[in-house]
């Protein structure tokens, strides 16, 4: 798994490539902790369009990030392609809690318009 984080005011972007599973989740968790600590304001876009698989451990990292961002009165948007992760959020009813977008540019625009 490859995780890349960068800041473009007013957003923090996290791009994940590879499986978000028990092996990759700790890497994402560590990267997210650093990114969230440095983010100001706490507007986060997580691009999961190149993540073909996510297990319960990976889902737990995403839920923890959402809880942290919401606790800090921030906003988190997941960028999702059609497929497994979108389906996983639906069957777990987490689609009601996560804000999603179909592209990074759409997510960025949503955060820019809210600022």
Residues 25-56 pLDDT 10s: 999 999 999 888 887 778 999 999 999 999 99
Pick from 84, 73, 79: which is nearest to 106 by CA? 79
What residue segments make up the domains of the chain, in order of their start?
2-114
Phi, psi of 26 (to 5 degrees): -60, -35
- Say if residue 101's pLDDT is above 70: yes
For residue 101, give the 3-state DSSP assignment: strand
- Look at residue 115 in the predicted model and tell me its pLDDT: 60
Q: Is this model's pTM higher than 0.75 or not?
A: yes
End-to-end CA distance of the chain: 32
- Look at residue 57 in the predicted model and tell me its pLDDT: 96
Phi, psi of 100 (to 5 degrees): -125, 160
Task: Kindly state the tokens that stand for 98.
Answer: 């996560």
Q: CATH for 2-114?
A: 3.30.750.24
């Amino acid at each position: 798994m490859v995780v890349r984080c960068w800041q473009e005011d007013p957003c923090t972007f996290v791009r994940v490539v590879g499986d978000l599973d028990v092996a990759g989740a700790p890497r994402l968790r560590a990267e997210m902790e650093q990114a969230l600590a440095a983010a100001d304001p706490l507007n986060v876009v997580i691009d999961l369009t190149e993540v073909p698989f996510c297990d319960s451990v990976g889902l737990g990292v995403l839920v923890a990030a959402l809880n942290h961002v919401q606790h800090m009165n921030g906003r988190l948007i997941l960028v999702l392609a059609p497929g497994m992760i979108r389906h996983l959020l639906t069957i777990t009813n987490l689609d009601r809690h996560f804000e999603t977008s179909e592209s990074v540019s759409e997510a960025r625009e949503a955060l820019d318009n809210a600022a």
